[in-house]
Amino acid sequence: MTANDYGFDTLAIHAGSDPDPRTGAVVPPIYQTSTYAQDAVGSPRLGYEYSRSGNPTRDALQECLAAIEGGRRALAFASGLAAEDTLIRAVCRPGDHVVIPGDAYGGTYRLFAKVAENWGLDWTAVPLDDLDQVRAAFRPGVTKMIWAETPTNPLLNIADIAALAGLAHEYDGLLVVDNTFASPYLQQPLALGADVVVHSTTKYLGGHSDVVGGALVTATDDLGEQLAFFQNAMGAVNGPFDAWLTLRGVKTLGVRMERHCDNAERIVGYLREHKAVSQVLYPGLETHPGHEIAAKQMQRFGGMVSFRAAGGKEKAIEICNRTKLFVLAESLGGIESLIEHPGQMTHLSAAGSALEVPADLVRLSVGIETVDDLLADLEQALG
């Protein structure tokens, strides 16, 4: 199934989910098995021999993810960082160089700075919305990829995917786009020229805060085959029950994202007028520096909202501690609303580096609850 034949919601519900041929079950079974009986030596049944190498439930999820991202091949992993690590080591070698966002997700920064760097990989962090700085950071023949997030976590900056793809390909590099914040429903990086899309499927794709996973989706079969080899060799695969939970979540992605966006827009309007808030960060605002690009490459502007507390770090922490409906927790993209202080939670690993986030920053993952209840909770928390 492809986007040429069906709309997004149809793909999300049906791709990879044909009725079971033996029983007619409309939901793919959970193949909770580690190994498979073979018909003869060298003749595994339907190609399945060991669940690290292949599992029908994981295959169903992978088929669905490729369809909704418009990609040729998708691979499901144990976590988003497992997907990132596999991609880095499949494409790069010691001595290579990568350009990453100047405000990358803390876990991505930690992976490059504390793990991949020890392996011999060099990296440079630059603001990806400044193409001149990106070009200046490129080392022809050495830089293997641009690693982009758009919107970024947690400052919600916007990168021009098509422009970055053109620049990367000019130097024979790859463009990797972390599409976790937008989700495939709001943004299609491969159609804009990206080579690989990265997801933490824990977030909007799973959507219910009950499963951890990651994914890579490629624009070409050749790159997909290369990554599949490394996935099997390195082994950080998504388990069958986790794959089943994620596939179940994907089926409602479209309707959930519409509600996430509706609620976020109402909350942004409220926060902009509150005296306890000095700045609201949301790409849907016309005052946002990346608004025009976001409007060009996104269907809507998402459910993630960040703001800076007028009273500084202590006020930001106080707000996080006072909410009742907004749960104080890491992660994002679930049906329930979450609040966090990035500087001391998700982005603590970037403290003291050039990627350190402002101490007065608060990040909201706006859920799908009744929005008036969320507004009332923020009202009492802001004081």
User: Which residues are known catalytic residues?
Assistant: 52, 105, 178, 203
Instruction: Output the CA torsion 286→253→258→68 (10° steps).
Output: 60
Say whether the peptide bond before residue 154 is cis (omega within 30 degrees of 0).
yes
**Whole-number Å distance between alpha carbons of 100 and 88:** 12
* Residue 366 burial (CB count, 10 A): 27
Core vs surface per residue 278-309: b (16+ CB within 10 A) or e: eebbbbbbeebebbebbbebbbbbbbbbbbbb
